[in-house]
Amino acid sequence: MRKLIFYSRAIDGIDDQNYSKFYEWNFDSNNGFLGRDYGKSLDSLKSFSEKESFYLEKLYEKFLKKTVSNLNAYHRVNEKEKNWEIIIGPWLRVCLFGFYERWQAVNKISRIENVSIITEKFSLTNIVTEDFEDFTNKFYEELWNAQVYTIMCHLKKITVETKLKAAKIKKQKKIKTFYLKDVFFIFFHRFLFFLFNMPKFFKDHKFIALINIPGSLNIGFDLIKKKSSFPLILNREFNHISNNKINSLSRIKPLAKIVSKENLSFEDFIGDLLWMVMPKSYLEDFADISYKAKQKLKRVRLMNIVSSSQHWFNDFLKIWIFHKKINDPKIKTSIWQHGGTYGFSKVITHQEYIETKVFDRFYSWGWGKNKKNIFPMTVLPKILKRNKSKSISNKNQILIILTRVKTYSKGDPWDSEEWNIDYMNQLMKFSNFANSKKKKISFRLNPSSMASINLKTFLRTNDFIDLNKDKSLNEAISNSDIVVITQNSTALIQSFYANKPTILFWNERLNGIRIEAKEEFQMLVSAGIFMSDFKEISSFFDKDKNEIQKWWNSSEVQRSVKSFLNLYASNKENIFFK
């Protein structure tokens, strides 16, 4: 019987060598990157089709209603679905899409004859996370995923052998960091509170909360100058530590009722599995967090709450917004776009979906003019670094900006098994080109290594290949002759603003462009900025660097870049928060 292992420690409990390491991604020097080790030659898991994506969108709405109903019953309240979605939307969508991808893998495993899963006895403490931030980290961990796969294998009636001792998970204490600038903000706010609490100033004043907004201090002073609103700059105000016990009976009971049933579909069990793995911040810790959240800025009358990224990960903040909306439905909640891909990618990311659906206003970087709740504004200040020079650099190198290659998928097209294999094999071609042509290539790794395949071990450095060590991405771009963007991301906007010869290179089938962006995208294609064929880009690299610079400075190329930036990274509008 072929044994399948979901995590590395399980090898210690196996005597024979007839096992496959599902958690590893295989690479062969002759055949390239091969994907996961299933122990049998099987096709890689494909990115979700449009039909599957549509199905999951409908499923999300269905289980959102069910989860909200369960939460209202559990907490003995009757709050609106839209308010609950501020809290649970990010988790529910990522979990649902990610679990669907894992269920596909389990269906694939079920087609292997005489396969057995080797695992250990897990407990709820292994799989229930503290909050969404903790969930985001665990979602990509080997051991956490091993338990998810094991539960699904039980539901699929695949043989599971429990041979190892239960894992002991050490809880990491959350430490609240405190910075000098926090002290400044505290005294700054106290002074202004005193000033604006004086009757003649306070009566008609409008307050706006800026949550971790880049350049918030400058924006705040600008809002005061315009007398449009009074800013509350809240950068490190939303932390919580709770230690309530897991309600095992409530979590396990629904799934336990159906585990013995045959031929379960994904839809048959996913609602019960979601309830079982739900972060504690939505169940056991919710009352404690709510009590603390209600005390935060209790007497301040807010007009608008603006966030850029904290609303996604920080459950305390989300629960605070939840209660603010309940107490005063007139308060507006707003999101300022914080990265690329928005408005451009064919498949809407989880963040764009939630942010444009749930919150009252979404301030984009220029796109979405005719959308109901989208307000085209300006790109974040840190992106706006325009290089006016039209000369070439002194380092004579090709910079390849890489994205993360994730070990586990959350249901995006750019982290599927199919996408990973395609992406890694394209990187091999860049390496082979550098060695054969003796061209200097510098790979810029994504600064976040969380949940990623270690590209340092995959990309072999030599006289022609190195790993870029510049402190910032802007510095790396500035020091290069040509920049290659390998994923639809913020990096392409930064490179365009730096006015460096830039090539966009990715698989358009796996990472498509939405209809609304086709016109601007086609301009990039016509100008020769976007390529998807490696033969085309390798021929481009063979050109003299002066010829490349002349091409980049041409009116057609500059016009297409400017048109793209005007729509997806605008700097025309002043910053405003209505």
Query: Which tens digits make up the pLDDT trace of 460-490?
Result: 778 889 999 998 898 999 999 999 999 998 9
The strand pairing partners of 310, in sequence order, are none
**CA 146/CA 215 separation, integer angstroms:** 41
Q: Report whether 64 contacts 92 (CB < 8 A).
A: yes
> Strand, helix or coil at 482?
strand
Amino acid letter for position 360? D
Residue-averaged pLDDT of the chain: 86
Q: Binning pLDDT at 50, 70 and 90, where does residue 158 land?
A: very high
Mean pLDDT value of segment 496-521:
93
* Confidence check: pLDDT of 170 > 70: no
Q: What are the structure tokens assigned to 125, written together?
A: 């403490």
Whole-angstrom Cα distance, residue 445 to residue 134?
Answer: 24
Q: What number is the average pLDDT over the span 121-131?
A: 90
Mean pLDDT, rounded, for 67-92: 97
For the segment 550-565, what is each residue's pLDDT rounded down to a tens digit?
A: 999 999 999 999 999 9
pLDDT digits over 525-534, tens only?
A: 999 999 999 9
C-alpha 195/C-alpha 198 separation (Å) is 6
The pLDDT value given to residue 85: 98
In sequence order, which residues have a C-beta less than 8 Å from that of residue 259 and are 6 or more positions away? 154, 155
Residue among 318, 330, 335 nearest 375 (CA): 335
Q: How many CB atoms lie within 10 A of CB 201?
A: 12
Q: Is the pLDDT of residue 83 over 60?
A: yes
User: Are the CB atoms for 427 and 402 separated by under 8 Å?
Assistant: yes
Q: Quick one: which of 188, 193, 222, 218 has its CA closest to 207?
A: 193
In this structure, which amino acid lies at residue 442? Answer: S
Cβ atoms < 10 Å from Cβ of 49:
9
Per-residue pLDDT at 200: 39
pLDDT at 441: 93
The pLDDT confidence band at residue 500, using thresholds 50, 70 and 90, is very high
pLDDT beyond 60 at 194: no
**How many degrees, rounded to 5, is the angle at CA 288 between CA 323 and CA 311?**
45
Q: Which among 317, 315, 241 has a CA at the least distance from the CA of 278?
A: 315
C-alpha–C-alpha distance, residues 420 and 411, integer Å: 13
Q: Which tokens belong to 111?
A: 């087609």
User: Distance between CA atoms of 35 and 544, rounded to whole angstroms?
Assistant: 37
Q: Is residue 389's pLDDT more than 60?
A: no
Asked whether 270 and 173 are in contact (CB, 8 A), the reply is no
Nearest to 343 by CA among 352, 354, 334: 352
Burial class (CB in 10 A: 0-12, 13-18, 19+), 53: middle
335 φ/ψ angles, rounded to the nearest 5 degrees: -120, 135
Residue 79: phi and psi, rounded to 5, are -90, 160
Q: What is the pLDDT of residue 248?
A: 94
- E strands of 241-350, at which residues? 302-307, 332-336
Q: How confident is the model at residue 16 (pLDDT cuts 50, 70, 90)?
A: low
- 231 phi/psi in degrees, rounded to 5: -85, 140
Residue-by-residue DSSP string for 445-485: --S--TTB--HHHHS---SSEEE---SSHHHHHHT-SEEEE
Evaluate the CA torsion angle 68, 69, 72, 75 in order and state its sign: negative
- For 148-180, give one letter per residue: b (16+ CB within 10 A) or e: bbbbbbbbbebebeeebeebeeeeeeeeeeeee
Q: Which residue has the higher pLDDT, 29 or 141?
A: 141
* pLDDT at residue 202 in the model: 45
Q: What is the pLDDT of residue 187?
A: 64
Buried b (16+ CB within 10 A) or exposed e, 463-478: ebbeebebeebbebbb
Tokens of 371: 């959308």
Given its phi and psi angles, is residue 438 left (phi above 0), alpha (psi -120 to 50 degrees) or beta? left
Comparison of pLDDT for 497 and 226, the residue scoring more: 497
Q: Scanning the structure block, which residue is given the tokens 């903040």? A: 317
- Reported as a pLDDT band with limits 50, 70 and 90, residue 15 is low
pLDDT at 330: 92
Give the 3-state secondary structure of residue 410: coil
Confidence at residue 232, expressed as pLDDT on a 0 to 100 scale: 82
Q: How many CA atoms lie within 13 A of 463 on its CB side?
A: 5
Q: How far is CA 433 from CA 28, 425, 443, 538, 542, in A?
A: 18, 13, 13, 7, 10
Predicted pLDDT of residue 449: 64
- State residue 189's pLDDT score: 59
